[in-house]
């Protein structure tokens, strides 16, 4: 999960740069505005996307599902950052689908409210209180409950190739979720990727990195330089865990980046580093989801 240090760092960096206003954030819901922020790339497949709902033991989760218009493809489950399901993540899911994946991005806070669960990516006192409160509703138990609903839902879709391994990605608070899901479904999850993931490795007996021996997935761990400065031992714990388990992996600190640098609507979005991380994501997915 994100902790208070993550919040403080994000506030600090936003004050140095230009954060999105509530009006600008809302404007991104229209295609032209948001597409101007999505990094360009070698798009290939035409895609089909739609808002969907998924029934879980705890309620009905709203989500966005997008996939190539033709054929069956490996599934990918995306866990958003603390700002939740929003247009920027729909567009990132679409970009991934254009590379040949059937992608589900979920509202992790569906137990509390439907998306959008935040109308800004700027941390003021009100937003901070709201988001930390919602984040407190999530736990390893809720992640396990949700994964047990989301993965069968994905596997029931005609566009998903169940014969191929699936991937899962997580941003900020969603980072630890990928390790938990891979450990919960080791025979289904073939690759994970975390981007500025929070609290991936620590001294807690419930630290996500302790689950690595239960996994059978490759891993891309893209670490913000600001996070590494505040917790330089985390990368070493992760490197040791994946090496000991004999799992293919890449643990890398992205120099000059700040916590939250990957989503295109982030106040600390770093285009060049985000593009580099995206290329590594495609490398590991293409290599592992077979």
- Is 26 within a domain? no
Q: Does 252 have pLDDT greater than 90?
A: yes
Residue 250 lies in a domain: yes
Residue holding tokens 């054929």? Answer: 71
**pLDDT one-digit tens code per residue, 50-105:** 999 999 999 999 999 999 999 999 999 999 999 999 999 999 999 999 999 999 99
Residue 126 maps to a domain: yes
Helices of type H across the chain: 4-16, 22-27, 31-35, 87-98, 125-135, 140-155, 175-184, 225-230, 233-245, 271-288
Distance separating alpha carbons of residues 212 and 207, to the nearest angstrom = 10
CATH code, 157:
3.40.50.1820
pLDDT at residue 104 in the model: 99
On whether residue 211 sits in a domain, the answer given is: yes
Q: Region 188-213: what's the mean pLDDT? A: 97
Q: What number of other Cβ atoms are within 10 A of residue 138's Cβ?
A: 21
Distance CA 144, CA 140 (A): 6
16 pLDDT band (50/70/90 cuts)? very low
Considering its fold, how many domains does the chain have in total?
A: 1
Of all residues in the chain, the percent with pLDDT exceeding 90 is 78
For residues 114-130, give the mean pLDDT.
80
């Amino acid at each position: 999960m994100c902790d208070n240090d993550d919040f403080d760092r994000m506030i600090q960096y936003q004050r140095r740069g230009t954060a999105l206003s509530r009006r600008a954030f809302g404007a991104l819901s229209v295609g032209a505005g948001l597409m101007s922020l999505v990094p360009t790339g070698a798009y290939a497949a035409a895609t089909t996307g739609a808002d969907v709902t998924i029934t879980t033991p705890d309620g009905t989760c709203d989500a966005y599902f997008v996939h190539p218009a033709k054929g069956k493809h490996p599934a990918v489950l995306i866990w958003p950052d603390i700002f939740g399901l929003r247009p920027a993540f729909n567009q990132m899911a679409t970009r991934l689908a254009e590379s040949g994946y059937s992608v589900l991005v979920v509202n992790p806070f569906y137990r509390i409210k439907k998306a959008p669960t935040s109308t800004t990516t700027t941390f003021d006192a009100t937003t901070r209180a709201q988001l930390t409160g919602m984040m407190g509703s999530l736990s390893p138990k809720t992640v396990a409950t949700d994964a047990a609903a989301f993965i069968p839902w994905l596997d029931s879709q005609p566009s998903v190739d169940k014969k191929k391994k699936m991937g899962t990605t997580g941003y900020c608070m969603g980072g630890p979720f990928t390790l938990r899901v891979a450990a919960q479904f080791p025979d289904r999850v073939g690759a994970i990727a975390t981007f500025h993931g929070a609290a991936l490795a620590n001294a807690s007996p419930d630290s996500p990195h302790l689950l690595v021996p239960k996994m059978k997935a490759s891993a891309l761990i893209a670490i913000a330089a600001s996070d590494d400065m505040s917790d330089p031992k985390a990368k070493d714990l992760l490197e040791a865990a994946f090496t000991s388990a004999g799992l293919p992996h890449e643990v890398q600190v992205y120099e000059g980046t700040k916590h939250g640098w990957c989503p295109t609507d982030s106040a600390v979005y770093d285009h060049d580093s985000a593009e580099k991380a995206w290329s590594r994501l495609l490398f590991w997915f293409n290599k592992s989801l077979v």
